[in-house]
A = this chain, B = another copy of it.
Amino acid sequence: MMTDRKFANTLARGLSVLRAFRISDDGLSHSQIVERTGLSPATITRLTYTLKELGYLSQNGNLLRLGPSALALASVAQTSTSFLDLAEAPMQELANQTQTLVLMAVRDGGSMTLVRTWRPRNAGSIWLETGNRVPMARSSTGQGFLAGLSEGRFAAMDPDEELIQQRKDAHAQLAAQGFVFVQGEARFSQTINAVSRPFFASDLGEPVVFGCGATPAELTDERILAEVGPMLRDAMRDLELKTGGRRALDQLRT
């Protein structure tokens, strides 16, 4: 069946165990991991044993958490992502000016994971945290990513009809306005309003997404279209120049 001689299954399964962890979890039991990964209990025992040996997981009682080696890998990964340095200042500035949460997200399997956020100075509300996951469908973040994703890679996700349609919309928005905004009913979350734009990071081989978000009260549809969206777009065009990367719209052709 799984007849890809090149694909190391055990490795993929082990990594899926690591991917099972969410920031909102305060440790996971084996059975929770079984549930999330769909792997058999025996397999989980073997994989977690291995990951513990290597320091990627650590155990307290029968709860597992990501361990020191995961943290170490984390640091190397983040520090190696060179454009994060350059994004630092302008994104903080954008957060301050718009009084929204500015975020950067990458694709992780079928959803988007926030890898960095910038909060406006002296704002107290509760915001999305780094490490949070957002679905691909019906979110500005996910759609912003899809708008930047090449045909080939999109096809590899074997998307359903709905997603294909959504991506088409996102494309159109990106081309017309320079940003993507999933509006109204379609939004997966009614408590957050957001706008996004893809960024092609040559480091990573596929697009990432930057975006601005806040509650619908603070960030109305009108403000997004007239003010915040354009500011995001301009900030990112600047960033694209500085990093010498391809422009977001060039990706549409790929």
> Which B residue sits closest to A117, measured CB to CB?
B75
A51-101 with Cβ < 8 A to chain B:
51, 53-56, 58-60, 65-81
Q: How far is the CB of A198 from chain B (nearest CB, A)?
A: 12
Q: How far is the CB of A195 from chain B (nearest CB, A)?
A: 21
Which of B51, B74, B129 contacts A74, CB < 8 Å? B74
* A131 contacts the other chain (CB 8 A): yes
> Which B residue sits closest to A11, measured CB to CB?
B14
> Would A69 and B108 count as touching, CB distance under 8 A?
yes
Q: Within 8 Å CB of A7, what residues of B?
A: 46, 49-50, 53
> Would A50 and B8 count as touching, CB distance under 8 A?
yes
Q: How far is the CB of A42 from chain B (nearest CB, A)?
A: 10
Chain A, interface residues (CB within 8 Å), range: 35 or more
A201-234 with Cβ < 8 A to chain B:
202-206, 208
> Would A14 and B22 count as touching, CB distance under 8 A?
no
18 further A-B contacts with Cβ under 8 Å, apart from A21-B76, A79-B130, A80-B131, are: A7-B50, A8-B14, A8-B47, A10-B11, A11-B51, A22-B76, A23-B76, A25-B80, A55-B206, A59-B205, A65-B203, A68-B205, A69-B106, A71-B81, A71-B113, A72-B106, A75-B130, A76-B131
